[in-house]
Amino acid sequence: MLRAENLTKRYRQGDKEVVALLGFTHAFPQGATAVVGPSGSGKTTLLNLLAGLDLPTEGGVYLGEIPLHRLSEDERAGVRLRHMGFVFQQWNLIPTLTAWENVAFPLLLAGWPLGKRRARALELLEGVGLLKRAHHLPSRLSGGEQQRVALARALALDPPILFADEPTGNLDAEAKEQVAALLFKAGKERTLILVTHDLELARRAERILHLKGGRLLWEEVPSPNP
Amino acid sequence: MEVFHLVLRNLLARPVRSLLTLLGVLIATASMVLFLSFGEGLRRALFQELSRVGPAIQVVPEGAEGFAFSAYPEITPEALRALEEAGKALGVKALIPTLLLARGGFDPKTGFFFQGLPPGVSPSLLYPGLRVRESRLLPSAQGAVAGAKIAQRGGLTLGSPLRLSPKVALKVEGILEESGGLADNLLFAPLPALQAVLGTKNVGAVLVALRPGQKAEEVARALEGAVPGLKAQTTGEVMRFAERALRISDLVRFGISLVALVVGGLLVANTVMMSVYERTREFGVMRALGARRGFIFRLVVLEALFLALLGGVGGLLLGSLASAAINLYTLKEVGLALSAITPRLALFALGVALGLGILAGLFPAQQASRLPVVEALGRV
Ligand SMILES: Nc1ncnc2c1ncn2[C@@H]1O[C@H](COP(=O)(O)OP(=O)(O)O)[C@@H](O)[C@H]1O
Ligand SMILES: [Mg+2]
């Protein structure tokens, strides 16, 4: 279980102080949680803090009993590798590596041998319907395909937590639907934290957190789609 | 090995840039290797030669240490007599006055080097192991014996005339077998004939052969004490002297090649820095996925190291090729391999390339691994 306690992030810009996130407290249960809010409301900041990519000015993040905010940079990297997966809005993939090599990258970091890496990567690519694209470089994949490869990579080490920051932001309707379907499927038995300003997408999550001006306004449980 | 694969991928993704950088390092290393190979070649030729020389001591005028053969002969008959007496008192095996005379200019094609020897003294006393190929080893008063290479180069056969001056002419009376040493390039002639050419009774140097058990250093010091104004050098001293001179010239030549090396290093640093800058987002993604900072650091350092080492190995090969080509020429022209790629030179070149790679990679690697993850992710 991922828990945020009184999470606060302030940025100093010259002599002005920007409060990107203020006193955010929430426990993320299993299943999909969408975080929505207007641009600049602190969504990305929240995701960065929850994933240990950045450190809070105040408050803390707990992964079970582990206080993420107290760990060193490299320790947090280790936690991310084993417990978290990421899908960003774009430029997710390492451009010089083929699709399967991208998927296998976390496995490389985890020290898997080549044969096992390849087998696991191909299995994951099959899961997102891209087995035929395994040996293509990212530049030869469409935007939707790139996001599916990124999702496959996020699942490589079967992490309990999945982060996605505007994963469908740059996609057309059809590709968006493919990625969304795969994402929510993967999020079912995981903790999926989906940052988006797309309310339609957010409504497919089990909970929606509404952010504004760096504060958590309210938590919505959307009614199931008609 | 796995990280290396990523490095290779990245370099191959920008083939032209990688190749140009590689070429820069390659040329820098090759020029350094070639520059330094001349010192090594000289050193090798010299020491081979010296270890082949029979007499253990060479007496020359003071201030003409090292190799003063071609200088104007300055040892007077009086000094020579005093030296002979001192030598007799010390019980040396032989004292051989000699002088070197160059004729026909410095072009090795037309130039001849004569070494004068007293009547009755065989060249094989100076260069043990010398053997005759044609006719005789010991020239008569009007004759000369030619080394194998000079005979070939000069087209000398038995009976060929050698005009040393309007008054002095000698005939080739013997041709020697090739020995691989300096003697191959010399013409041995009677000392009085050469002195007549120069119009002097002086000699250029006196070679001293020792009896078994005699200590070269002690004899040399005693000879110096007996005849002021002369310097007696043992083969060891000559070697040390030559080594000192060679080391200085090594330094100078390394200094010159350093310019090329620094440029090569900057090339690598620039390439790696550029690739680091372009890959900021990529590194951000890697770290978000769980790569530690050391992983990124290694990735970048390895890239620089790989470029530098590959360029270094290529430069060593190119330098060796150039060295071989130069030797082909100098062997033909002067009968001497001027350039040598010794194992220690090869090691040194690779070491320099390695150092270059590390130096060029450290800063970009530091930059790449120090950047906060969120900042790296923010840059597309
Ligand atoms: N590195 C930063 N330095 C200064 N201000 C920042 C920085 N990152 C984000 N902010 C500010 O924090 C606020 C929240 O940003 P962000 O979390 O990116 O919002 P969102 O993702 O909801 O658009 C914004 O006002 C933004 O300008
Ligand atoms: Mg954002």
Provide ipTM, 2 decimals. Answer: 0.94
Asked whether residue B57 is domain-assigned, the answer is: no
Q: Read off the pTM.
A: 0.76
Q: Is B379's pLDDT higher than 70?
A: no
Higher pLDDT, B46 or B316: B316
- Report yes or no on B233 lying in a domain: no
CA distance A78 to B270: 32
The predicted-structure confidence for A71-126, as pLDDT tens digits, reads as follows 999 999 999 999 999 998 887 899 999 999 999 999 999 999 999 999 999 999 99
The predicted pLDDT at position B104 comes to 72
Task: Indicate yes or no: CB of A53 within 8 angstroms of CB of B374.
Answer: yes
Q: What is the mean pLDDT of residues B186-194?
A: 92
B78 and B182 fall within a common domain:
yes
Clarify whether residues B255 and B281 are in a common domain.
Answer: yes
pLDDT-based confidence at residue B65 (cuts at 50, 70, 90):
low
Segments forming the whole domain that contains residue B208: 63-228
Cα angle: B7, vertex B11, B12; to 5 degrees: 115
pLDDT at residue B68 greater than cutoff 60: no
Which strand (E) or helix (H) includes residue A3? strand A2-13
- Please check whether residues B145 and B261 belong to one and the same domain: no
Residue A68 backbone phi and psi in degrees, to 5: -55, -40
| End-to-end CA, chain A | 31
- pLDDT at position B126 is 84
Pick left, alpha or beta for residue B336 (phi over 0 → left; psi -120 to 50 → alpha; otherwise beta): beta
Classify residue B13: in a domain, yes or no.
Answer: yes
The residue among B330 and A153 whose pLDDT is bigger is A153
Predicted local distance difference test score (pLDDT) of residue A105: 95
Of the listed ranges A147-151, B37-41, B105-109, B240-244, the one predicted with least confidence: B105-109
Using the predicted structure, report yes or no on whether residue B352 has a pLDDT greater than 70. Answer: yes
CA distance B5 to B184: 55
SS3 B174: strand
Q: What DSSP designation does B340 have?
A: -
For B49-63, the pLDDT digits (tens) are: 777 777 788 888 877
Q: What is the mean pLDDT of residues B285-314?
A: 92
Helix axes A143-154 and A99-109, enclosed angle (nearest 10): 20
Domains located in chain A, CATH noted? 29-54+72-208 (3.40.50.300)
Q: Kindly give the parts of chain A with pLDDT less than 50.
A: 226
| Interchain CB contact of B378 with A (< 8 Å) | no
pLDDT computed for residue B173 by the predictor = 93
101-130 of A, contacting B, C-beta below 8 A: 105-106, 108-110, 114
Give B228's contacts (C-beta < 8 A, 6+ positions apart).
none
Q: Is the pLDDT of residue B67 over 70?
A: no
pLDDT in tens, B223-239: 888 888 888 888 888 78
Last residue of a domain, one of B228, B257, B274: B228
Do B41 and B182 belong together in one domain? no
For residues B224 and B326, membership in a common domain is answered with: no
Percent of chain B with pLDDT over 90: 21
Instruction: For chain B, count helices (H), then strands (E).
Output: 12, 10
For residue B224, is it within any domain?
A: yes
pLDDT at residue B105 above 80? Answer: no
Q: How far is residue B31 from each of residues B307, B308, B322, measured CA to CA in Å?
A: 17, 15, 9
Rounded Cα–Cα distance for residues B121 and B94 (Å): 10
Distance of alpha carbon B237 from alpha carbon B65, whole angstroms: 10
Q: Do B288 and A86 touch (CB under 8 A)?
A: yes
* Amino acid B110: pLDDT: 66
Give me the residue label for tokens 């999020």.
Answer: A187
Distance (Å) from CA B369 to ligand 1 centroid: 23
pLDDT at B92: 87
Residue B132: both structure tokens together: 């005759």
> Domain for residue B241, yes or no?
no
Domain assignment present for B320: yes
Instruction: Please tell me what DSSP assigns to residue A189.
Output: T
Pair B139, B41 in one domain: no
In a domain, B157, yes or no: yes
For residue B64, pLDDT over 80 is answered with no
Over residues B103-116, the mean pLDDT reads: 73
Q: Over 80: is that where the pLDDT of B70 sits?
A: no
Token digits for B139?
């020239």
Report the alpha-carbon angle B343-B349-B354, nearest 5: 125
* B75 and B156 together in one domain: yes
Is residue B201 located within the same domain as residue B295? no
Q: How confident is the model at residue B1, as a pLDDT? A: 52
B2 touches chain A (CB under 8 A): yes
Of A129, A124, A131, A202, nearest in space to A168 by CA: A202
Task: Assess if residue B268 is contained within a domain.
Answer: yes
Examine the domain organization and report whether B104 and B197 are in the same domain: yes
Is the same domain home to B126 and B254? Answer: no
Scan residues 4-33 of B and list those with Cβ closer than 8 Å to A: 6, 9-10, 12-13
Q: What residues of B are in contact with residue A86 (Cβ under 8 Å)?
A: 285, 288-289
Do B267 and B343 sit in the same domain of this protein? yes
Task: Report CA Rg, chain A.
Answer: 17
Q: Which of B286, B289, B375 to mutate to test the interface with A (most CBs of A within 10 A)?
A: B289
What does the DSSP assignment read for B208-266?
A: EE--TT--HHHHHHHHHHHSTTEEEEEHHHHHHHHHHHHHHHHHHHHHHHHHHHHHHHH
pLDDT at B275 over 90: no
Q: What is the per-residue pLDDT for A50? A: 95
**Total count of domains within chain B:** 2
Based on the domain organization, do B280 and B371 belong to the same domain? yes
Q: What are phi and psi of B56, to 5 degrees?
A: -85, -15
Instruction: Judge whether B98 and B117 are in contact, CB under 8 Å.
Output: yes
